């Protein structure tokens, strides 16, 4: 067996050189910053948005408004005026009058059109969406729709819960679409004014 015999004093001095104190083995704590939030681009000019909400099934539709306002603020759309109308059918005229004031750079519509069993609700939904498109093309004020027409909607708590969550998602989506469109239009109008486009 090959073993080296060392002087105990030498062995102890080598061991003490290798050993380190517990404070040296632990790295100093690194401060942990919370993950940075998404930094959305800012607008060159203040933007004002009109949110037109149908009161039919208000408890469901208002989830879109709540989510929209929260997401809009995160995207630097801090001026949101809310208007209520009885139902989705009344939204387009309200949107047109608001667009003609030129106070708003965008209009958002939210409503729920359901099958009441008496009439074809698809006709109402189709009419509303076409009218909103006409408003934006006539006035050049962008109009965004969170007017939804589910295939099936029953007056049960399960459906109410599902559509409340769905409208909250739509509120976030329409806020993102609104902010991105307004940024794009701001850029485009600047290019047109400068003769680039």
- Catalytic residue numbers? 120
Using DSSP, state whether 54 is helix, strand or coil.
strand
List the structure tokens of 93: 């005229």
Angstrom distance (rounded) from CA 165 to CA 78: 23
Count CB atoms within 10 A of the CB of residue 197. 10
Are 146 and 52 in contact, with CB atoms under 8 Å apart?
Answer: no
37, 42, 128, 156 from 52: Cα distances, Å = 29, 24, 13, 26
């Amino acid at each position: 067996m090959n073993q080296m015999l060392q002087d105990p004093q030498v062995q102890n001095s080598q061991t003490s050189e290798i050993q380190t104190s517990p404070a040296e083995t632990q790295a100093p704590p690194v401060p942990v910053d919370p993950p940075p939030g998404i930094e959305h681009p800012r607008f060159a000019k203040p933007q004002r948005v009109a949110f037109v909400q149908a009161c039919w099934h208000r408890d469901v539709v208002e989830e879109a408004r709540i989510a929209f306002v929260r997401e809009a603020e995160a995207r630097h759309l801090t001026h949101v005026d809310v208007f209520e109308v009885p139902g989705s059918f009344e939204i387009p005229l309200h949107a047109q009058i608001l667009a003609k004031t030129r106070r708003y750079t965008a209009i958002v519509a939210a409503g729920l059109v359901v099958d009441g069993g008496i009439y074809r609700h698809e006709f109402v939904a189709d009419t509303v969406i076409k009218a909103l498109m006409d408003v934006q093309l006539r006035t050049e004020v962008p109009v965004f729709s969170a007017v939804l027409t589910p295939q099936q909607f029953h007056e049960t708590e399960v459906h109410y819960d599902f559509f409340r969550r769905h409208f909250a998602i739509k509120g976030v989506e329409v806020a993102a679409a609104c902010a991105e469109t307004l940024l794009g239009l701001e850029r485009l109008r600047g290019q047109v004014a400068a003769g680039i486009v």
